[in-house]
């Protein structure tokens, strides 16, 4: 596989603070070496306009983050937009509420199962993206586990955010193995050493932090990872950040 074809995308949230036009932002993404993007909804564009820009920069839409409320209230329009741009995956970035006990997480899982069944009926996949709070344990299991186990795998997949898992003091390798087959998209994010990069929320560019990518990349691929999605929540220099992260992942082509 050529480096240009490696399954590496960027979550456009990483570039949200840039004042450039969306066209220019996608130009930076392409120049950094990415093959795909994970959008935040429709970015205020029509499907035709989005398609034109993606084609201009030779990028694929590989997933989108859509809030639960926005998806349920505008289901047909959201699905139609993403089908029109060739994106097969809708990801819930956060839950509509944050449960504080096991039953609440199980209830969320059932809600997402119902929604995921509707998404599956349209030929698409529904995933859930974690932060650190899903790693809290309730009645002997993590919130994430209660939630995912309450939904059918064919209705709800998982987009593991590896840095947030570690920050939540959970083992990403164990969770990837536990949910193998459900992890179609992997958020590649790194953690700075403790007490550093506080002005960047303690995150680091991928490969420039503390996570063990030599172990994580093959484990993520074995868990079903089709695309690795770079994200940095608060980079001081977004273009430099996504460029360094992509360069690191491309240097690990043998593991992708």
Domains of the chain: total: 1
Q: 148: number of CA atoms within 13 Å, CB side?
A: 24
Give the Å distances, CA to CA, from 153 to 14, 117, 144, 147, 185. 29, 10, 14, 11, 14
The answer to whether residue 5 scores a pLDDT higher than 70 is no
pLDDT (tens digit, 9 = 90+) per residue, 82-91? 999 999 999 9
Distance from C-alpha of 138 to C-alpha of 40, rounded to nearest angstrom: 31
At residue 186, what are phi and psi to the nearest 5 degrees?
-120, 125
Domain that holds residue 221: 3-255
pLDDT (tens digit, 9 = 90+) per residue, 127-173? 999 999 999 999 999 999 999 999 999 999 999 999 999 999 999 99
Q: What pTM was computed for the model?
A: 0.96
The answer to whether residue 233 scores a pLDDT higher than 90 is yes
pLDDT (tens digit, 9 = 90+) per residue, 67-115? 999 999 999 999 999 999 999 999 999 999 999 999 999 999 999 999 9
CATH number at residue 211: 3.20.20.150
């Amino acid at each position: 596989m050529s480096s240009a074809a490696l399954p590496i995308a960027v979550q456009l949230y990483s570039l949200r603070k840039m004042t450039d036009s969306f066209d220019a932002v996608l130009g930076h993404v392409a120049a950094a070496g990415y093959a795909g993007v994970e959008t935040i909804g429709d970015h205020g564009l029509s499907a035709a306009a989005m398609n034109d820009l993606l084609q201009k920069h030779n990028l694929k839409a590989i997933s989108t983050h859509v809030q639960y409320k926005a998806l349920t209230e505008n289901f047909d329009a959201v699905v139609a937009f993403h089908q029109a741009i060739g994106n097969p995956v809708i990801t819930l970035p956060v839950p509509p509420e944050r449960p504080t006990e096991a039953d609440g997480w199980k209830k969320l899982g059932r809600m997402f199962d119902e929604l995921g069944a509707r998404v599956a009926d349209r030929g698409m996949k529904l995933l859930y993206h974690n932060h650190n709070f899903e790693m809290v344990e309730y009645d002997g299991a993590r919130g994430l586990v209660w939630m995912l186990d309450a939904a059918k795998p064919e209705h709800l997949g998982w987009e593991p955010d590896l840095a947030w898992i570690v920050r939540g003091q959970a083992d990403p390798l164990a969770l990837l193995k536990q949910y193998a087959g459900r992890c179609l998209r992997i958020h590649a994010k790194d953690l700075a050493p403790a007490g550093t990069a506080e002005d960047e929320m303690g995150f680091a560019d991928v490969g420039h932090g503390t996570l063990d990518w030599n172990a994580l990349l093959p484990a993520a691929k074995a868990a079903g990872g089709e695309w690795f999605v770079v994200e940095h929540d608060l980079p001081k220099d977004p273009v430099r950040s996504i460029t360094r992260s992509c360069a690191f992942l491309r240097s690990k082509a043998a593991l992708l």
